[in-house]
Structure 1
Amino acid sequence: MLDSLIVGVLGMDVFAVVLVVARSVAFRTRLYRPMLLNVALCAAPLLVLLVGWGAALVVRVAGAPAWAMWAVAGVTMLVWVLLLPNAGYLVTELNLSHRREGDGVPMWFDVALVISLAMAGVLTTVINVFTLHAGYAILRHGDHAVGLQTADGRVLVAVLLLLVSLGMYLGRYLRLNSWDVTHPGALLRKLHAHVVTERHAGALVGFCLTHTVFLALMYVVVVGPVISGLVALER
Protein backbone atom coordinates (compact mmCIF):
# COMPACT_ATOMS: atom_id res chain seq x y z
CA MET A 1 0.00 0.00 0.00
CA LEU A 2 2.77 2.43 0.90
CA ASP A 3 4.60 1.54 -2.31
CA SER A 4 1.50 2.31 -4.36
CA LEU A 5 1.04 5.63 -2.55
CA ILE A 6 4.63 6.74 -3.17
CA VAL A 7 4.64 5.60 -6.80
CA GLY A 8 1.29 7.29 -7.42
CA VAL A 9 2.46 10.62 -5.96
CA LEU A 10 5.73 10.56 -7.91
CA GLY A 11 3.87 9.56 -11.06
CA MET A 12 1.44 12.48 -10.71
CA ASP A 13 4.32 14.93 -10.21
CA VAL A 14 6.11 13.63 -13.30
CA PHE A 15 2.91 13.61 -15.36
CA ALA A 16 2.26 17.25 -14.46
CA VAL A 17 5.77 18.23 -15.58
CA VAL A 18 5.37 16.30 -18.83
CA LEU A 19 2.11 18.14 -19.59
CA VAL A 20 3.70 21.54 -18.90
CA VAL A 21 6.56 20.79 -21.31
CA ALA A 22 4.28 19.12 -23.88
CA ARG A 23 2.05 22.20 -23.91
CA SER A 24 4.96 24.29 -25.16
CA VAL A 25 6.19 21.74 -27.69
CA ALA A 26 2.88 20.50 -29.10
CA PHE A 27 1.16 23.88 -29.42
CA ARG A 28 4.25 26.01 -30.11
CA THR A 29 3.61 28.37 -27.25
CA ARG A 30 5.88 29.72 -24.54
CA LEU A 31 7.02 27.36 -21.79
CA TYR A 32 5.27 28.42 -18.60
CA ARG A 33 8.31 28.23 -16.32
CA PRO A 34 6.52 29.29 -13.09
CA MET A 35 4.61 25.99 -13.19
CA LEU A 36 7.85 24.00 -13.39
CA LEU A 37 9.26 26.04 -10.50
CA ASN A 38 6.12 25.37 -8.47
CA VAL A 39 6.41 21.61 -9.07
CA ALA A 40 10.05 21.73 -7.91
CA LEU A 41 9.02 23.67 -4.79
CA CYS A 42 6.22 21.16 -4.29
CA ALA A 43 8.78 18.35 -4.00
CA ALA A 44 11.14 20.34 -1.75
CA PRO A 45 9.43 19.76 1.66
CA LEU A 46 9.58 15.97 1.53
CA LEU A 47 13.19 16.08 0.33
CA VAL A 48 14.11 18.38 3.24
CA LEU A 49 12.29 16.11 5.69
CA LEU A 50 14.01 12.93 4.52
CA VAL A 51 17.48 14.49 4.30
CA GLY A 52 17.09 16.22 7.67
CA TRP A 53 15.91 13.12 9.47
CA GLY A 54 18.72 11.13 7.84
CA ALA A 55 21.24 13.72 9.03
CA ALA A 56 19.81 13.60 12.57
CA LEU A 57 20.15 9.83 12.57
CA VAL A 58 23.74 10.01 11.35
CA VAL A 59 24.58 12.54 14.08
CA ARG A 60 23.07 10.21 16.69
CA VAL A 61 24.82 7.09 15.39
CA ALA A 62 28.12 8.98 15.28
CA GLY A 63 27.91 9.31 19.05
CA ALA A 64 27.20 13.04 19.22
CA PRO A 65 25.26 14.39 22.21
CA ALA A 66 21.49 13.96 22.12
CA TRP A 67 20.99 17.73 21.90
CA ALA A 68 22.88 17.77 18.56
CA MET A 69 20.45 15.26 17.07
CA TRP A 70 17.46 17.22 18.34
CA ALA A 71 18.95 20.47 17.03
CA VAL A 72 19.26 18.99 13.53
CA ALA A 73 15.73 17.57 13.77
CA GLY A 74 14.37 20.91 15.02
CA VAL A 75 15.93 22.92 12.19
CA THR A 76 14.65 20.34 9.72
CA MET A 77 11.10 20.63 11.06
CA LEU A 78 11.19 24.43 10.94
CA VAL A 79 12.36 24.49 7.31
CA TRP A 80 9.85 21.76 6.43
CA VAL A 81 6.88 23.65 7.91
CA LEU A 82 7.88 26.80 6.04
CA LEU A 83 8.19 24.94 2.73
CA LEU A 84 5.13 22.70 3.11
CA PRO A 85 2.56 25.20 1.72
CA ASN A 86 4.48 25.13 -1.59
CA ALA A 87 3.03 21.67 -2.20
CA GLY A 88 -0.60 22.67 -1.63
CA TYR A 89 -0.06 25.90 -3.57
CA LEU A 90 -0.36 23.97 -6.84
CA VAL A 91 -4.11 23.77 -6.18
CA THR A 92 -4.33 27.49 -6.98
CA GLU A 93 -3.21 26.81 -10.56
CA LEU A 94 -6.84 25.84 -11.19
CA ASN A 95 -7.58 29.50 -11.91
CA LEU A 96 -6.09 29.02 -15.42
CA SER A 97 -4.22 32.32 -15.11
CA HIS A 98 -1.53 31.05 -17.49
CA ARG A 99 -3.85 31.09 -20.52
CA ARG A 100 -3.36 33.86 -23.06
CA GLU A 101 -5.59 35.04 -25.88
CA GLY A 102 -4.65 33.33 -29.14
CA ASP A 103 -2.07 30.92 -27.72
CA GLY A 104 -3.79 28.08 -29.59
CA VAL A 105 -3.95 25.67 -26.65
CA PRO A 106 -7.32 23.89 -26.44
CA MET A 107 -9.19 24.25 -23.18
CA TRP A 108 -9.36 20.46 -22.67
CA PHE A 109 -5.57 20.27 -22.55
CA ASP A 110 -5.22 23.08 -20.04
CA VAL A 111 -7.97 21.61 -17.89
CA ALA A 112 -6.08 18.29 -17.76
CA LEU A 113 -2.86 20.20 -17.05
CA VAL A 114 -4.12 22.25 -14.12
CA ILE A 115 -6.01 19.29 -12.62
CA SER A 116 -2.78 17.25 -12.78
CA LEU A 117 -0.88 20.09 -11.10
CA ALA A 118 -3.55 20.45 -8.43
CA MET A 119 -3.62 16.71 -7.72
CA ALA A 120 0.18 16.60 -7.62
CA GLY A 121 0.04 19.34 -4.98
CA VAL A 122 -2.69 17.65 -2.96
CA LEU A 123 -1.06 14.21 -3.02
CA THR A 124 2.37 15.58 -2.20
CA THR A 125 0.88 17.50 0.72
CA VAL A 126 -0.83 14.34 1.93
CA ILE A 127 2.33 12.22 1.80
CA ASN A 128 4.34 14.96 3.55
CA VAL A 129 1.84 15.20 6.39
CA PHE A 130 1.56 11.42 6.63
CA THR A 131 5.33 11.10 6.89
CA LEU A 132 5.37 13.45 9.88
CA HIS A 133 2.24 11.85 11.32
CA ALA A 134 3.93 8.43 11.20
CA GLY A 135 7.14 9.77 12.74
CA TYR A 136 5.19 11.44 15.55
CA ALA A 137 3.15 8.29 16.19
CA ILE A 138 6.31 6.19 16.52
CA LEU A 139 7.96 8.65 18.93
CA ARG A 140 4.81 9.18 20.99
CA HIS A 141 3.16 5.76 20.97
CA GLY A 142 5.87 3.31 19.96
CA ASP A 143 6.32 1.24 16.82
CA HIS A 144 2.68 0.20 16.55
CA ALA A 145 0.33 1.05 13.69
CA VAL A 146 -2.52 1.74 16.10
CA GLY A 147 -0.60 4.85 17.15
CA LEU A 148 -1.67 6.39 13.84
CA GLN A 149 -5.29 6.35 14.99
CA THR A 150 -4.91 8.37 18.19
CA ALA A 151 -6.64 11.70 18.79
CA ASP A 152 -3.42 13.65 19.29
CA GLY A 153 -2.09 12.48 15.93
CA ARG A 154 -5.29 13.58 14.24
CA VAL A 155 -5.04 17.00 15.89
CA LEU A 156 -1.46 17.28 14.60
CA VAL A 157 -2.65 16.49 11.07
CA ALA A 158 -5.45 19.07 11.30
CA VAL A 159 -3.06 21.79 12.52
CA LEU A 160 -0.58 21.04 9.74
CA LEU A 161 -3.29 21.16 7.07
CA LEU A 162 -4.56 24.49 8.48
CA LEU A 163 -1.01 25.89 8.26
CA VAL A 164 -0.75 24.64 4.68
CA SER A 165 -4.00 26.43 3.79
CA LEU A 166 -2.80 29.63 5.44
CA GLY A 167 0.48 29.43 3.53
CA MET A 168 -1.39 28.87 0.28
CA TYR A 169 -3.47 31.99 0.88
CA LEU A 170 -0.45 34.13 1.77
CA GLY A 171 1.35 32.90 -1.33
CA ARG A 172 -1.51 33.45 -3.77
CA TYR A 173 -3.05 36.68 -2.49
CA LEU A 174 -0.21 38.44 -0.67
CA ARG A 175 2.48 37.03 -3.01
CA LEU A 176 4.58 35.95 -0.02
CA ASN A 177 7.20 33.19 -0.17
CA SER A 178 8.54 30.83 2.49
CA TRP A 179 11.75 32.86 2.77
CA ASP A 180 9.83 36.05 3.59
CA VAL A 181 9.91 34.93 7.25
CA THR A 182 13.48 36.26 7.27
CA HIS A 183 11.84 39.72 7.17
CA PRO A 184 9.15 39.34 9.86
CA GLY A 185 8.46 43.07 10.16
CA ALA A 186 7.61 43.49 6.49
CA LEU A 187 5.60 40.26 6.54
CA LEU A 188 3.48 41.38 9.48
CA ARG A 189 2.90 44.82 7.93
CA LYS A 190 1.66 43.21 4.70
CA LEU A 191 -0.60 40.85 6.63
CA HIS A 192 -1.99 43.66 8.79
CA ALA A 193 -2.68 45.83 5.75
CA HIS A 194 -4.42 42.97 3.95
CA VAL A 195 -6.55 41.81 6.87
CA VAL A 196 -7.28 45.06 8.71
CA THR A 197 -6.82 47.95 6.28
CA GLU A 198 -8.19 46.22 3.18
CA ARG A 199 -10.69 44.17 5.23
CA HIS A 200 -9.97 40.74 3.77
CA ALA A 201 -10.26 38.87 7.08
CA GLY A 202 -13.39 37.06 5.90
CA ALA A 203 -11.71 35.92 2.70
CA LEU A 204 -8.68 34.65 4.62
CA VAL A 205 -10.78 32.70 7.13
CA GLY A 206 -13.07 31.31 4.43
CA PHE A 207 -10.16 30.24 2.23
CA CYS A 208 -8.33 28.55 5.10
CA LEU A 209 -11.37 26.69 6.41
CA THR A 210 -12.48 25.56 2.95
CA HIS A 211 -9.07 24.30 1.90
CA THR A 212 -8.34 22.71 5.28
CA VAL A 213 -11.54 20.67 5.07
CA PHE A 214 -10.77 19.74 1.45
CA LEU A 215 -7.22 18.61 2.29
CA ALA A 216 -8.45 16.75 5.37
CA LEU A 217 -10.99 14.83 3.31
CA MET A 218 -8.29 13.97 0.78
CA TYR A 219 -6.08 12.82 3.65
CA VAL A 220 -8.85 10.50 4.85
CA VAL A 221 -9.42 9.15 1.34
CA VAL A 222 -5.74 8.56 0.54
CA VAL A 223 -4.15 7.78 3.90
CA GLY A 224 -7.14 6.28 5.71
CA PRO A 225 -7.00 2.93 3.86
CA VAL A 226 -3.21 2.77 4.36
CA ILE A 227 -3.56 3.22 8.12
CA SER A 228 -6.42 0.72 8.31
CA GLY A 229 -4.36 -1.79 6.32
CA LEU A 230 -1.31 -1.35 8.58
CA VAL A 231 -3.44 -1.82 11.70
CA ALA A 232 -5.08 -4.95 10.22
CA LEU A 233 -1.69 -6.42 9.33
CA GLU A 234 -0.41 -5.80 12.84
CA ARG A 235 -3.34 -7.64 14.32
Structure 2
Amino acid sequence: MPLLAAFIAVILLNVYAAVLIWLRAVVYRVALYRPMLLNIVLSFVPVVVAVLGIIGLLLIGTAGSLVNAPSVVSTILWVYLIVGTIAWILFFPNAIYLITELNFSHRREDDPVPLWFDIVQTLTLTLSGIANAVLSMGVMEFAFTTVILDPAHGTPVLSWVFAGVVIVLGAVGVYFGRYLRFNSWDVRHPIGMLRKLRAHFAIKGKALEAFGFVLTHAVLIALVFVPLYLLAYAALRAG
Protein backbone atom coordinates (compact mmCIF):
# COMPACT_ATOMS: atom_id res chain seq x y z
CA MET A 1 0.00 0.00 0.00
CA PRO A 2 2.74 2.61 0.79
CA LEU A 3 4.40 1.89 -2.56
CA LEU A 4 1.10 2.26 -4.41
CA ALA A 5 0.42 5.53 -2.60
CA ALA A 6 3.88 6.79 -3.60
CA PHE A 7 3.25 5.93 -7.26
CA ILE A 8 -0.12 7.69 -7.23
CA ALA A 9 1.34 10.78 -5.56
CA VAL A 10 4.18 11.01 -8.09
CA ILE A 11 1.83 10.54 -11.05
CA LEU A 12 -0.50 13.25 -9.71
CA LEU A 13 2.45 15.61 -9.27
CA ASN A 14 3.46 15.05 -12.91
CA VAL A 15 -0.11 15.60 -14.08
CA TYR A 16 -0.42 18.77 -12.01
CA ALA A 17 2.80 20.13 -13.50
CA ALA A 18 1.50 19.46 -17.02
CA VAL A 19 -1.88 21.05 -16.21
CA LEU A 20 -0.23 24.22 -14.91
CA ILE A 21 1.86 24.51 -18.08
CA TRP A 22 -1.31 24.14 -20.17
CA LEU A 23 -3.23 26.62 -18.02
CA ARG A 24 -0.42 29.15 -18.40
CA ALA A 25 -1.03 29.18 -22.15
CA VAL A 26 -4.83 29.13 -21.96
CA VAL A 27 -5.45 31.60 -19.14
CA TYR A 28 -2.82 34.19 -20.06
CA ARG A 29 -3.02 33.65 -23.84
CA VAL A 30 0.65 32.95 -24.39
CA ALA A 31 2.31 30.28 -26.48
CA LEU A 32 2.33 26.82 -24.96
CA TYR A 33 5.86 26.11 -23.73
CA ARG A 34 6.19 22.62 -25.21
CA PRO A 35 9.77 21.95 -24.02
CA MET A 36 8.48 21.75 -20.44
CA LEU A 37 5.85 19.19 -21.42
CA LEU A 38 8.52 17.15 -23.21
CA ASN A 39 10.74 17.35 -20.14
CA ILE A 40 7.93 15.97 -17.97
CA VAL A 41 7.63 12.96 -20.27
CA LEU A 42 11.40 12.42 -20.34
CA SER A 43 11.67 12.78 -16.56
CA PHE A 44 9.04 10.06 -16.07
CA VAL A 45 10.88 7.59 -18.31
CA PRO A 46 13.19 6.41 -15.45
CA VAL A 47 10.09 5.49 -13.43
CA VAL A 48 8.72 3.46 -16.34
CA VAL A 49 12.06 1.73 -16.91
CA ALA A 50 12.37 0.89 -13.19
CA VAL A 51 8.84 -0.54 -13.01
CA LEU A 52 9.31 -2.56 -16.19
CA GLY A 53 12.57 -3.80 -14.73
CA ILE A 54 10.82 -5.15 -11.65
CA ILE A 55 8.13 -6.79 -13.78
CA GLY A 56 10.81 -8.40 -15.93
CA LEU A 57 12.60 -9.76 -12.87
CA LEU A 58 9.36 -11.30 -11.62
CA LEU A 59 8.68 -12.89 -15.00
CA ILE A 60 12.20 -14.30 -15.23
CA GLY A 61 11.91 -15.66 -11.69
CA THR A 62 8.57 -17.27 -12.47
CA ALA A 63 9.86 -18.79 -15.70
CA GLY A 64 12.98 -20.00 -13.89
CA SER A 65 10.89 -21.93 -11.38
CA LEU A 66 9.18 -23.78 -14.23
CA VAL A 67 12.29 -24.95 -16.07
CA ASN A 68 15.12 -27.11 -14.86
CA ALA A 69 18.00 -24.97 -16.11
CA PRO A 70 19.29 -22.82 -13.23
CA SER A 71 22.49 -21.80 -15.00
CA VAL A 72 20.62 -20.54 -18.06
CA VAL A 73 18.10 -18.67 -15.93
CA SER A 74 20.91 -17.13 -13.87
CA THR A 75 22.69 -15.94 -17.01
CA ILE A 76 19.51 -14.41 -18.41
CA LEU A 77 18.84 -12.73 -15.07
CA TRP A 78 22.28 -11.13 -14.89
CA VAL A 79 22.19 -9.95 -18.52
CA TYR A 80 18.75 -8.48 -17.92
CA LEU A 81 19.90 -6.74 -14.75
CA ILE A 82 22.98 -5.22 -16.37
CA VAL A 83 21.24 -4.03 -19.54
CA GLY A 84 18.23 -2.73 -17.62
CA THR A 85 20.36 -0.87 -15.09
CA ILE A 86 22.46 0.78 -17.79
CA ALA A 87 19.32 1.88 -19.64
CA TRP A 88 17.86 3.30 -16.43
CA ILE A 89 21.05 5.17 -15.53
CA LEU A 90 21.13 6.77 -18.99
CA PHE A 91 17.61 8.16 -18.55
CA PHE A 92 17.88 8.95 -14.83
CA PRO A 93 19.43 12.46 -15.33
CA ASN A 94 16.29 13.51 -17.25
CA ALA A 95 14.41 13.52 -13.94
CA ILE A 96 16.96 15.55 -11.98
CA TYR A 97 17.32 17.89 -14.96
CA LEU A 98 14.04 19.59 -14.07
CA ILE A 99 15.85 21.33 -11.20
CA THR A 100 17.47 23.54 -13.83
CA GLU A 101 14.04 24.78 -14.99
CA LEU A 102 14.09 27.07 -11.95
CA ASN A 103 16.10 29.55 -14.00
CA PHE A 104 12.78 30.81 -15.47
CA SER A 105 14.33 30.96 -18.94
CA HIS A 106 10.85 30.65 -20.44
CA ARG A 107 9.83 34.13 -19.19
CA ARG A 108 10.15 37.30 -21.23
CA GLU A 109 10.57 40.86 -19.98
CA ASP A 110 7.06 41.76 -21.16
CA ASP A 111 5.54 38.44 -20.07
CA PRO A 112 1.85 38.84 -19.15
CA VAL A 113 2.03 35.81 -16.87
CA PRO A 114 2.26 36.84 -13.19
CA LEU A 115 5.50 35.90 -11.51
CA TRP A 116 3.62 34.10 -8.71
CA PHE A 117 2.04 31.74 -11.24
CA ASP A 118 5.36 30.94 -12.88
CA ILE A 119 6.93 30.33 -9.46
CA VAL A 120 4.28 27.74 -8.55
CA GLN A 121 4.26 26.22 -12.03
CA THR A 122 8.04 25.91 -12.29
CA LEU A 123 8.43 24.70 -8.71
CA THR A 124 5.80 22.03 -9.34
CA LEU A 125 7.67 20.99 -12.47
CA THR A 126 10.93 20.75 -10.53
CA LEU A 127 9.33 18.78 -7.70
CA SER A 128 7.83 16.35 -10.20
CA GLY A 129 11.30 15.68 -11.57
CA ILE A 130 12.77 15.16 -8.10
CA ALA A 131 9.86 12.85 -7.24
CA ASN A 132 10.44 10.84 -10.41
CA ALA A 133 14.12 10.56 -9.58
CA VAL A 134 13.54 9.48 -5.97
CA LEU A 135 10.81 6.97 -6.84
CA SER A 136 12.69 5.34 -9.71
CA MET A 137 15.91 5.16 -7.72
CA GLY A 138 14.05 3.73 -4.74
CA VAL A 139 12.62 0.98 -6.92
CA MET A 140 16.01 0.21 -8.43
CA GLU A 141 17.82 0.18 -5.09
CA PHE A 142 15.15 -2.06 -3.58
CA ALA A 143 15.55 -4.48 -6.50
CA PHE A 144 19.34 -4.30 -6.19
CA THR A 145 19.10 -5.01 -2.47
CA THR A 146 16.63 -7.89 -2.62
CA VAL A 147 17.86 -9.62 -5.78
CA ILE A 148 21.64 -9.30 -5.50
CA LEU A 149 22.36 -8.63 -1.82
CA ASP A 150 21.16 -10.08 1.48
CA PRO A 151 18.73 -7.64 3.11
CA ALA A 152 18.23 -9.75 6.24
CA HIS A 153 20.00 -7.22 8.44
CA GLY A 154 18.69 -4.02 6.86
CA THR A 155 19.87 -2.09 3.83
CA PRO A 156 23.39 -3.34 2.91
CA VAL A 157 26.20 -0.82 2.64
CA LEU A 158 26.78 -1.82 -0.99
CA SER A 159 23.27 -0.69 -1.88
CA TRP A 160 24.08 2.78 -0.51
CA VAL A 161 27.23 2.79 -2.62
CA PHE A 162 25.06 1.97 -5.64
CA ALA A 163 22.71 4.85 -4.79
CA GLY A 164 25.59 7.26 -4.23
CA VAL A 165 27.23 6.43 -7.55
CA VAL A 166 23.92 6.81 -9.39
CA ILE A 167 23.20 10.17 -7.75
CA VAL A 168 26.61 11.53 -8.75
CA LEU A 169 26.27 10.17 -12.29
CA GLY A 170 22.82 11.73 -12.47
CA ALA A 171 24.20 15.13 -11.44
CA VAL A 172 26.98 14.78 -14.03
CA GLY A 173 24.35 13.96 -16.64
CA VAL A 174 22.38 17.08 -15.72
CA TYR A 175 25.48 19.23 -16.14
CA PHE A 176 26.15 17.66 -19.54
CA GLY A 177 22.54 18.21 -20.56
CA ARG A 178 22.32 21.84 -19.43
CA TYR A 179 25.74 23.11 -20.53
CA LEU A 180 26.74 20.79 -23.38
CA ARG A 181 23.17 20.01 -24.54
CA PHE A 182 23.72 16.26 -24.41
CA ASN A 183 20.74 13.89 -24.47
CA SER A 184 20.54 10.32 -23.15
CA TRP A 185 20.60 8.93 -26.69
CA ASP A 186 23.80 10.80 -27.58
CA VAL A 187 25.75 7.85 -26.17
CA ARG A 188 25.32 6.39 -29.66
CA HIS A 189 27.97 8.90 -30.77
CA PRO A 190 30.74 8.62 -28.15
CA ILE A 191 33.43 10.18 -30.33
CA GLY A 192 31.41 13.33 -30.86
CA MET A 193 30.63 13.52 -27.15
CA LEU A 194 34.31 13.22 -26.24
CA ARG A 195 35.21 16.02 -28.63
CA LYS A 196 32.60 18.33 -27.11
CA LEU A 197 33.77 17.43 -23.60
CA ARG A 198 37.40 18.15 -24.42
CA ALA A 199 36.54 21.50 -25.98
CA HIS A 200 34.29 22.45 -23.07
CA PHE A 201 36.72 21.62 -20.30
CA ALA A 202 39.59 23.26 -22.17
CA ILE A 203 37.96 26.56 -21.18
CA LYS A 204 39.46 27.92 -17.97
CA GLY A 205 37.23 27.53 -14.93
CA LYS A 206 34.83 24.99 -16.45
CA ALA A 207 36.20 22.06 -14.46
CA LEU A 208 35.68 23.91 -11.17
CA GLU A 209 32.22 25.00 -12.28
CA ALA A 210 31.31 21.41 -13.11
CA PHE A 211 32.58 20.20 -9.75
CA GLY A 212 30.49 22.73 -7.85
CA PHE A 213 27.42 21.98 -9.97
CA VAL A 214 27.67 18.22 -9.52
CA LEU A 215 28.42 18.46 -5.79
CA THR A 216 25.51 20.76 -4.93
CA HIS A 217 22.98 18.83 -7.04
CA ALA A 218 24.14 15.44 -5.74
CA VAL A 219 23.92 16.56 -2.11
CA LEU A 220 20.41 17.90 -2.67
CA ILE A 221 19.15 14.66 -4.21
CA ALA A 222 20.86 12.57 -1.52
CA LEU A 223 19.29 14.61 1.29
CA VAL A 224 15.86 14.05 -0.25
CA PHE A 225 16.33 10.41 -1.24
CA VAL A 226 17.95 8.85 1.82
CA PRO A 227 15.28 9.61 4.48
CA LEU A 228 12.40 8.86 2.10
CA TYR A 229 13.94 5.55 1.06
CA LEU A 230 14.59 4.53 4.66
CA LEU A 231 10.96 5.22 5.55
CA ALA A 232 9.65 3.34 2.51
CA TYR A 233 12.03 0.41 3.02
CA ALA A 234 11.01 0.07 6.65
CA ALA A 235 7.33 0.20 5.68
CA LEU A 236 7.77 -2.50 3.03
CA ARG A 237 9.69 -4.80 5.38
CA ALA A 238 7.12 -4.28 8.12
CA GLY A 239 4.31 -5.11 5.71
Q: If the length of structure 1 is used for normalisation, what is the TM-score?
A: 0.90
Q: Which residue of 2 aligns with 1:191?
A: 197
1:137 pairs with 2:140? no
Deviations 1:126-156 (A, max 9, x none): 1111111101110233464x432x2211111
Q: How does 1:121-200 map to 2 (within 5 A)?
A: 121-142=129-150, 144=152, 146-148=153-155, 150-200=156-206
Percent identity over the alignment is 37
- Contact 2:96–2:133 (CA under 8 A) maintained in structure 1: yes
Q: Which residue of 2 aligns with 1:44?
A: 45
| Structure 1 residue 198 displacement after superposition | 4.6
1:90 pairs with 2:90? no
- Contact 2:46–2:132 (CA under 8 A) maintained in structure 1: no
| Structure 2 CA distance for aligned equivalents of residues 49 and 116 of structure 1 | 22
Paired residue secondary structure (2:154): helix
Letter in 1 for 2:193: L
Which piece of structure 1 moves more, 50-59 or 158-167?
50-59
Q: Note closer, same or farther for the CA distance 1:102–1:7 as it changes in structure 2 (3 Å cut).
A: same
- The runs of at least 4 aligned residues of structure 1 exceeding 3 Å deviation read 55-60, 140-144, 228-231
Q: How does 1:50-69 map to 2 (within 5 A)?
A: 50-59=51-60, 61=63, 63=67, 65-66=72-73, 67-69=75-77
Alpha-carbon RMSD across the aligned residues, in angstroms, is 2.0
1:10 pairs with 2:16? no
Paired residue secondary structure (1:101): coil
| Structure 1 residue 196 displacement after superposition | 2.3
Q: Which has the higher contact order (CA 8 A, sep 6+)?
A: 2
Letter in 1 for 2:4: D
Q: If the length of structure 2 is used for normalisation, what is the TM-score?
A: 0.89
| Structure 1 CA distance for aligned equivalents of residues 210 and 130 of structure 2 | 20
| Structure 2 CA distance for aligned equivalents of residues 53 and 18 of structure 1 | 29
| Structure 2 CA distance for aligned equivalents of residues 171 and 141 of structure 1 | 33
| Structure 2 CA distance for aligned equivalents of residues 96 and 43 of structure 1 | 21
Letter in 2 for 1:182: R
| Structure 1 residue 53 displacement after superposition | 4.1
| Structure 1 residue 222 displacement after superposition | 2.4
| Structure 2 CA distance for aligned equivalents of residues 194 and 84 of structure 1 | 23
Q: Note closer, same or farther for the CA distance 1:106–1:40 as it changes in structure 2 (3 Å cut).
A: same
- Unpaired runs of 5+ in structure 1? none
- Unpaired runs of 5+ in structure 2? none
| Structure 1 residue 221 displacement after superposition | 3.6
Which piece of structure 1 moves more, 192-201 or 74-83?
192-201
| Structure 1 CA distance for aligned equivalents of residues 50 and 13 of structure 2 | 20
| Structure 2 CA distance for aligned equivalents of residues 6 and 51 of structure 1 | 14
